[in-house]
Amino acid sequence: MVAGGLLGGNIYEGKVSDCYFSGSVTGNMVVGGLMGENAYDGTISNCYSTGSVTGDLDAGGFVGVDDGRPVRNSFWDVEASGMEVSAAGTGKSTAEMMDIATFANTESEGLDEPWDIVAVTSDEKNPAHVWNTVDGQTYPLLRWQQVP
């Protein structure tokens, strides 16, 4: 069975962008922190996952199986997921996942285009940007979420 934190599969020209998943994912095969399988012209961009991933076959920190379709500017937390590998995406440490440079500085490995992200202070949010983060303290949050 295909299992993913946000989606089991992204197939047939599906487009997934500006999303994240932070829970745990467990499955037998084709298991990913964000998505189990990305295939048949499915695309993923500006997404991340941070939860633990457990699977017996084709398990990955971000995506379990990817047939070479575009996965851009997307990351998973290697430490939190317990996964060193993924069929797509770029693995980062927890510290890197909480560093705005990972998502804003194109010199960061795996980032071709900067996310629409801004640093805010705790208990603040800036709805003018898709993503908000307290640099060095939180993972990116979507504009509508209250930053802790």
Of 139 and 146, more confident:
139
Q: What is the pLDDT of residues 51-63, one digit of tens each?
A: 999 999 999 999 9
**At 48, which amino acid appears?**
Y
The span from the CA of 132 to the CA of 116, in Å, is: 9
Rounded average pLDDT over 25-46: 93
Across the strands, what pairs with 142?
131
- pLDDT of residue 147 exceeding 90, the answer is no
Q: How far is CA 119 from CA 54, 77, 95, 100, in A?
A: 32, 20, 15, 7
Specify whether the CB–CB gap between 43 and 68 falls below 8 A. Answer: no
Reading the block at residue 35, the tokens are 């998505």
Average pLDDT of every residue of the chain: 95
Amino acid at 15: K
Q: What is the pLDDT of residues 6-26, one digit of tens each?
A: 999 987 788 999 999 999 999
Residue ranges per structural domain of the chain: 3-114
CA distance 68 to 80: 25
